[in-house]
Structure 1
Amino acid sequence: MTATQSPTTTAPPDAPEVSAPARTLPDALPLLPEDPPRVGEFWLRGRLGANAAGYLYSAADENGRGAVVAMMTEGSADDAAARDRFVRAVDALPGDAVLAHNDADDDDLALWVALGPVREDDGSSSAADERLIAERRGEDVLSAVLMDRIPQLGRVRGPDFRHYWEGRRRPGLFRIWPLPWPTALRPASRLALILSLLAMALIMALAVLIAWLLFRNAPEVDPGPVIPDPSGTATVTVTPTTPPPGTTSPTTGPSPGTPTSTVTRPGTPGTSPNSPGTPDDPADRF
């Protein structure tokens, strides 16, 4: 009995190499209004994952360097023990994997860490591997905070363990300085903003012009001040709006027969000493 050897096929030396297919990365979910637009020098692009301990974001800095940002939730950031577990998990990562992080002494802010480096997704398997590695490291940090990967010791009895802050799943507090506006605007947004400001300025100028045209010939509503003369009397001239027939125009002065009233101001110099309101009145002494 003779054994037959299966023929082996060899590729020609000039045949091109077939590269391994690149991994398909899931797209990040859009940011919600409650998410921070930026942490540190990294602009957030979308959500990659979340649990009760924190969120994973896809991010990039001003130079286009990609990263995966892990950030604590509002509930876990208020727990001192959870913050310590986050810091210890970040310290356990390789030094070249941590691109940036905030200070652990910021008690009023949520802790975050930027993991990478992550290259721009160009369809290659190496770029996909970098992002997957960064995501896995971020998941390990958040799992250390949540303590969901601790092996079970003994038999399971009683109720399940649950952190008291697991219901507070909003992103933790953050501080942005300098403010992201208008750096975060795209060129199309900048053009729309400039056009809207110009339209507002044009509408305001048109409103001021219409108001000036309507009220430029309006008469004075309040009469002028009445200044008494040294004799203690004030003469007020009342000019009728419609002059009687046979009289001149009001612009040439008061016509003959215009009623003139003399008003005596009490308490002015030259009035009777016994009139009320004068300095000699005994009632003014108290």
Structure 2
Amino acid sequence: MSEPLQDNDPRQLGPYRLSERLTARPEGIVYLAHGPAGEPVSVAMLSEGASADPAARDRFVAAVSRGNGVDNPPAVLKSNTSNPAASWVAVPHSEAGPGAGAYLEPVGVEPTSGSERSPGYVPYWAGGNAPATGRWFGQVSGGRSAAAAQPGANRAAIIGLLALLLLIVGLLAVLYMWLSQVSKQAMAESEKPSPSPSSEQPSPSPFSPLPMPSPQPGSSPEESTEPESEQEETTQPPPGGSPSSDVPSVPLDGGDQPTDVPADPEQMP
């Protein structure tokens, strides 16, 4: 009776996608699988204990390659017996026959050369039927083993990496264009001519002449300048003169001429 795949079961062996367990025995496990075209396939894989036993593994190889110990061996579609971690064989699925389980029959029975009454024995690994891949592949998220990686998962990872690479390239292109624009602006500013000294306005000199007063309306230039010249003559003291010489002299009219002043004031009338 078939049962769902367990957590330690692989999901794919070679080109075959496993879908469920058909039988489980100490020698190995038989799976129902499907090929690339969807055809049903029976796949038998050695158990963990049988894969660890070199003698059991040799019997499995002999059964797959030469049909030793197998009655009416089914046609082998594909097999992998060189990998001790996961040895398996695939045959066409048939509801009537044992399918790939026929190649597990001679794995747990060692041929005897003596009498048929000689006692048989049970291998030391007969107590367990875990698949061999459970020792080599760790669990992944969702209770699925690494051997059961979906082909679409790898495709999605590759697409994601390509998208990330394109994003990085786009960012680098934008950064390059921005740096080019900044460098062009810096070069344009450095190439601008500086103003020459001749174009600058001269600063006013502290010794520039004072502005002359404008003449009053109705007066001639000679009249406007005469008081200034007379004031300059009267205000400038002669060199070496006394302080009384600073008093300006006033011209006298004809009637203001001095008369004879008596020397004795008492003689004045």
The structure with more helix, counted as a fraction of residues: 2
TM-score normalised to structure 1 length: 0.43
Q: Max radius of gyration: which structure?
A: 2
